[in-house]
Structure 1
Amino acid sequence: MTDRSSCEPSWARRACWLLPAGAALLVCASAGAAEIPLLESTTRGASTEFSVKTQILIIMTLLGLLPVMVMMMTSFTRFVIVLSLLRQALGLQQGLPNRIVTGIALILTLLVMRPIGEQIWAEAFVPYDRDSISLEQALKIAEAPVSRFMMAQTGKAALEQIARLSGSGPVAQPMDHPFLVRLAAFVLSELKTAFQIGCMLFIPFLVIDLVVSSVLMAMGMMMLSPLVISLPLKLLLFVLVDGWTLTVNTLVTSIQV
């Protein structure tokens, strides 16, 4: 009979790739769990192990937070905003549905976050599944690569601003900030970067719209919508320059892992 702990099921590996940050939880939940009377824990030596009921509660909470963590703790936010702005610039609000945009952003997120997911799987989930480490230790181990990824994308100004708003004192290293401070600064930096990339993609199509509008007004065809003329031109330009390849390359290479 094959030892269950020695095999790595493909479905679980895909789940780990789907949300590498899911194993991290929001470590603050595990840090504050011991202060809640309903969460029972036992102390063995220098470590604290949660009871089975507490572990089930934490895992069920994680499952409920999966969509939020996918959006807030990965590069998904940057990708979906840039793709939405690109759709707006092309004028394809109806031609490119929201599900397609979300699906493309999710696939790119899986591609970028895959190394982090594999690291969390090997260093946190597998030892926990084999009862080599406790749930609290697994969460701390899983939080480390996610924090490193977030801090690599976080700007210094955003981190200082969030730290000042949260009232946390000065620290020697950025990683010494509380997890929620790092997470908020990461989201703020992702929004800024996404709008910067989106602006660069928007400008060429805006120029086409201005030129078409000026030509139509000069010809006295003010009753004709400029979108009727500019949309085919923008699509032709986007196809000629291989726009999807350039966009995907820009998004993926903008991530520092």
Structure 2
Amino acid sequence: MKSLRWIFLALLLMCPMLLWAAPAMPQMPSMPQMPGSGSGIPVLTVQNAPGGAQNWTLSLQLLALMTVLTLLPAVLLMMTSFTRIMIVLGFLRQALGTQSTPSNQILLGLSLFLTLFVMSPVLNRAYTEGVKPYMDGQMSAELAVPAAAAPFKHFMLDQTRDADLQLFTHLANEKPYASKDDVPFRVAMPAFVTSELKTAFQMGFLLFIPFLIIDLVVASVLMSMGMMMVSPTIISLPFKIMLFVLVDGWTLLLGTLAGSFYT
């Protein structure tokens, strides 16, 4: 039951992206729960509303949720710490020169679990402030969506540089915002992704420096010994792995990655 709540939370958070192009839908009343029934998504039926409008049925809502499910990769990349973590781990593998070790599956799994660790406070706030009141029938869907999305927007804006935010604010022909609550998702998301890419490349550059020094030293030694036909990569690889292990590189890297989101 708890895993289903997290899946529903992910689906619920994708609704703000659909609100950019779709008009606001009327509030849909929920059917009264039968005695003894547990909490869950309110079941909705077609009812004639004033003015001849009709509400969506449960089947249409499920169809809409299944359609929105295709946007989960975009949400994972644009609203969480996954982008920075995955890029930095990719830079590390290239700096070590181990090619496919660790494999893509291992890097992806490590990035996902580290993302879950970093985003757990945000997920807990979104569930407490938006998802749980909606599933308990204490809040309508129109109020639950912005309440659940607000912690994610604050997280993104905390990691966004002012220059990137000002850039996309100017491109959107918007005036400077008084507070973070006034920044819309259509401005916060691209600004956040741009800042994440810049931060990830900066961390990747710092990762390359010690391994690049080892490559230069090994190449110079081989040239001085006249061993020009020997590939420096073959000789430097064991030294780079030994250096990374001796300094406890995984602990330092993962700790720095996780800590970079809380500073």
What is the TM-score normalised by the length of structure 1?
Answer: 0.85
Task: Report the alpha carbon displacement of residue 237 of structure 1 after superposing the two structures with TM.
Answer: 0.3
Task: Report the alpha carbon displacement of residue 148 of structure 1 after superposing the two structures with TM.
Answer: 0.6
2:230 aligned residue (205, 224, 227)? 224
Task: Report the alpha carbon displacement of residue 144 of structure 1 after superposing the two structures with TM.
Answer: 0.6
Paired position in structure 1 for 2:107:
101
CA deviation string 1:127-147 (max 9, x = no partner): 211222122211111111000
Task: Report the alpha carbon displacement of residue 30 of structure 1 after superposing the two structures with TM.
Answer: 3.5
CA deviation string 1:35-65 (max 9, x = no partner): 6xxx666699xxxx96335643542233111
Deviates more, 1:168-177 or 1:86-95: 168-177
Structure 2: how far apart are the matches of 1:146 and 1:57?
25
- Aligned pair 1:233/2:239, yes or no? yes
- Aligned pair 1:10/2:2, yes or no? yes
2:145 aligned residue (111, 115, 139)? 139
**Is the CA contact 1:24–1:142 (under 8 Å) kept in the aligned structure 2?**
yes
CA deviation string 1:104-126 (max 9, x = no partner): 11110000111111122222122
Which structure carries more relative contact order (alpha carbon 8 Å, separation 6+)? 1
More helix by share: 1
What is the TM-score normalised by the length of structure 2?
Answer: 0.83
Structure 1: how far apart are the matches of 2:57 and 2:19?
14
Structure 1 segments (4+ residues) deviating >6 Å: none
Q: Which amino acid aligns with 1:244?
A: W
Larger Rg: 2
Structure 1: how far apart are the matches of 2:218 and 2:232?
6
1:192 aligned residue (182, 198, 218)? 198
Gaps of 5+ in 2: 30-48
Q: CA RMSD in A?
A: 2.5
Gaps of 5+ in 1: 1-8
CA deviation string 1:167-213 (max 9, x = no partner): 22332224322211100000000001111111111100000001101
- Aligned pair 1:25/2:30, yes or no? no
Task: Report the alpha carbon displacement of residue 85 of structure 1 after superposing the two structures with TM.
Answer: 0.2
- Aligned pair 1:51/2:56, yes or no? yes
Structure 1: how far apart are the matches of 2:66 and 2:206?
41
Structure 1: how far apart are the matches of 2:28 and 2:175?
32
> 1:56/1:152 Cα in 2 relative to 1: closer, same or farther (>3 Å)?
same
Task: Report the alpha carbon displacement of residue 14 of structure 1 after superposing the two structures with TM.
Answer: 5.2
Count how many residue pairs are aligned between Structure 1 and Structure 2.
Answer: 240
**Is the CA contact 1:30–1:136 (under 8 Å) kept in the aligned structure 2?**
no
Give the secondary-structure state (helix, strand or coil) at the position aligned to 2:23.
helix
**Is the CA contact 1:120–1:145 (under 8 Å) kept in the aligned structure 2?**
yes
Provide the identity percentage.
Answer: 47
